[in-house]
Amino acid sequence: MDALELTNPFFRKAYSQGYEFMVGKLPKLWEVFFELTDKKWAQPMFRCCRRLYNGLNTRPLVRFIKEGDFDVIVTTHFLSTEVCGWLRRTGQIRSKFITMVTDFDVHKIWVVDGVDLFLVASDFTRKSLVGLGVAEDKVVVTGIPVDEKFVVTRNKKEIRRNLGLREDAFTVLLSTSSFGFGPIAELSALLSDLQMIIICGNNEALYGRMMAQKNPLHKVCRFVGNMEEMLAASDIMITKPGGLSIAEALANHIPLIFFSAIPGQEAGNVRVLAGHGIGLSDKSLSEIAAEIRRLAISPEALQEARDKTVALARPDSVAQIIKHLM
């Protein structure tokens, strides 16, 4: 269930569109808000405010949870985590309550009393939660869950042929968020002579600009439903550092280059991966293009970059999570 679908219409629209506006138009203000709400001294006031506005706006969600009388509840977002934690603390539900933290770094907003078990992406995430006061036996490293279609072994040449790509060409996957943020047009121009898959998300204006270039080496797509094939066809991925996108790429051992990290959770993801030698970030567009070309001409460098993904890749994440649910 999408928890936002079980909130009042005004709250639902403000929650999603407000976030999109903040990170797209006012990223510095979002960074200040993110960091302020992560301060220890701000937690009592912030938690009180969250309980108040969630209490007013999530009544359909509360009703759904209570009427469902579920054996196990798994949350993957801090909104539903806060609501379920309150229901557990006040004795309104008896369900086993598990939270999946869907980023590699952890904001204090995830820490809620009443959670039986936290499932996390990495050892770093586990240590961060313990450092925030969560008991060690309540935190388990499973990896962020990715659809099992992402870990199916596929023939790269066959996938490329099916997608209308050259079979033997070094291939770059350039994927923005669903909002279509980022310097997509600029990067594609710098890499105009390389085979690329460019995913524009729901940004129709960006899609139109990319299609107008008519580059025969660039496969331009809107929002896609076959991301597993796009990854299987690619040698490297340039993307925004969202937790799920990272997990899907790591499961395929695809080296990563990041752009336009959202201050806060995405910047935190970048820091964690950098500690494992994974990902390139905080570089100019020309530096990104230079790194892509270095990997394109050096099979050894490309393999070294792929090898580094193994430390954080969790292709068995779904099986591990199910084990803990049962």
Residue 323 lies in a domain: no
Asked if residue 256 and residue 210 are part of one domain, the reply reads yes
Q: Which residues contact 217 (CB under 8 A, 6 or more apart)?
A: 166, 169, 192, 193, 194, 195, 196
Q: Round to whole Å and give the CA distance between 290 and 215.
A: 20
Looking at 106, 123, 141, the residue that finishes a domain is 141
State yes or no: pLDDT of 179 exceeds 70. Answer: no
Reported as a single tens digit per residue, the pLDDT across 298-319 is: 999 999 999 999 888 988 899 9
**Co-location of 167 and 123 in the same domain:** no
Residues 72 and 57 occupy one common structural domain: yes
The domain tally of the chain equals 2
Claim to verify: residue 118 and residue 254 sit in the same structural domain: no
Do 132 and 186 belong together in one domain?
no
Q: With respect to residue 92, please indicate whether it lies within any of the assigned structural domains.
A: yes
Give the domain-ending residue among 113, 141, 169: 141
Contact 312, 122 (CB under 8 A): yes
The whole-chain average pLDDT of the chain stands at 91
Q: Which residue has the tokens 């309540």?
A: 138
Q: Is residue 36 part of a domain?
A: yes
**pLDDT (average), residues 281-306:** 93
Does one domain contain both 222 and 115? no
Q: Which of 111, 40, 286, 280 is nearest to 187 (CA)?
A: 286
DSSP string, 246-300: HHHHHHTT--EEE-SPPTTHHHHHHHHHHTTT--B-S--HHHHHHHHHHHHH-HH
- Residue 56's domain comprises 3-141
Instruction: Determine, yes or no, domain membership for 319.
Output: no
For the segment 141-172, what is each residue's pLDDT rounded down to a tens digit?
999 999 989 988 899 999 999 999 999 999 99
The answer to whether residue 38 sits within a structural domain is yes
Six token digits for residue 144: 């962020």
Burial profile 148-172: b = 16 or more Cβ within 10 angstroms, e = fewer: eebbeebeeeebbeebebeeeebbb
Last residue of a domain, one of 123, 141, 159: 141
DSSP annotation of 242? -
